[in-house]
Amino acid sequence: MAKVAFLGLGVMGYPMAGHLAKAGHVVTVYNRTFAKAEKWAAEHGGVAARTPREAAQDADFVMACVGNDDDLASVCRGEDGAFAGMTKGAVFVDHTTVSAAITRALAAEGQALGLGFVDAPVSGGQAGAENGVLSVMCGGDAGDYGRAEPVIAAYARICKRLGAVGSGQIAKMMNQICIAGLVQGLAEALRFGEKAGMDGKAVVDVIQGGAAGSWQMVNRHATMLDGKFDYGFAVDWMRKDLGICLQTAEEIGAPLPVTALIDQFYKDVQNMGGGRWDTSSLLARLDK
């Protein structure tokens, strides 16, 4: 078993760190709100640290799941950052969805210190984290990934290296681009059917096993039709992710016309007060 630090105990990180402890790893946690780290430690038998540096000391692996580029940089860099506490040869594994640019910059800084770095954003939402069945998209040196993969397996349904550092973040962007289009299509179909006098749930029972089927259709159609939008990934987070996608698309010259449009639809949902609703709330926008 490994000595692991976990930085960030949000709706994803809290259960992910828990799975590491259940798997037998020795886990030290850090969270900006120290009381939350203490709560986790009391529940799981781990240790709560007051700084990322303290958490990372002597760890074989340092996992992070924070908010955005700035949050990630803050837990890595500086006198109290994780890099300052990590031992040469240790591997930093980043589960945050961030830009490939900050990923590559931090990986280079880590490499200069003799550290490994694996970008490993996840998909599966809060339920996937709680149930330990996340999909993990990784980029990094093959050796670093090979060492980290058995640890990541504590909360992963599938984990795969897709190339050099930054590849995991690009794969996560592709994931979010796909989801945005699927949710909008599902929302339109459900509202169209309702206006036409159809029983949407009955129709989905028929079509979900065919070419139109998707995870979104199977898992979200019923709650969408019931007007319940407190399941899963928040609109605020999706807009953050789509912003990364659109910025990267501009940099590499890749057109994302549908993604750009749906990003604005999510902005409409935010303006409706739905920033904390889950992404299936695109249906509510059609009622405006």
HSE toward the beta carbon, residue 162, CA cutoff 13 A:
18
CA distance 215 to 29: 32
Residue count (the chain): 288
What is the CATH class of 170-285? mainly alpha
Position 231 scores a pLDDT of 82
Position 53 scores a pLDDT of 98
Position 232 scores a pLDDT of 77
Name which of 120, 158, 114 is nearest 137 in CA terms: 120
Answer for the pair 47, 24: CB distance below 8 angstroms, yes or no: no
> Which residues pair with residue 63 across a beta bridge?
6, 93
For β-strands 91-94 and 116-119, DSSP reports them as parallel
CA distance 118 to 265: 33
Scanning the chain, the segments in alpha helix (DSSP H) are 13-22, 34-44, 52-56, 69-76, 82-85, 100-112, 125-131, 142-152, 167-195, 200-207, 215-225, 235-252, 257-271, 282-285
> Which residues, including other chains, have CB under 8 Å from residue 171's CB and lie 6 or more apart?
121, 137, 139, 162
Spans in the chain with pLDDT lower than 50: none
Phi and psi dihedrals of 98, rounded to 5? -135, 180
Domain ranges of the chain: 3-164, 170-285
3-class secondary-structure state, position 85: helix
HSE toward the beta carbon, residue 213, CA cutoff 13 A:
8
CA distances from 183 to 20, 206, 214, 242 (A): 32, 18, 10, 14
Is 172 in the active site? yes
Give the CATH number of domain 3-164; options: 3.40.50.300, 3.30.300.30, 3.40.50.720, 3.40.190.10. 3.40.50.720
Answer for the pair 62, 55: CB distance below 8 angstroms, yes or no: yes
Answer for the pair 110, 116: CB distance below 8 angstroms, yes or no: yes
pTM here is: 0.94
Catalytic residue among 172, 195, 240, 267: 172
Position 287 scores a pLDDT of 85
> Which residues pair with residue 123 across a beta bridge?
135
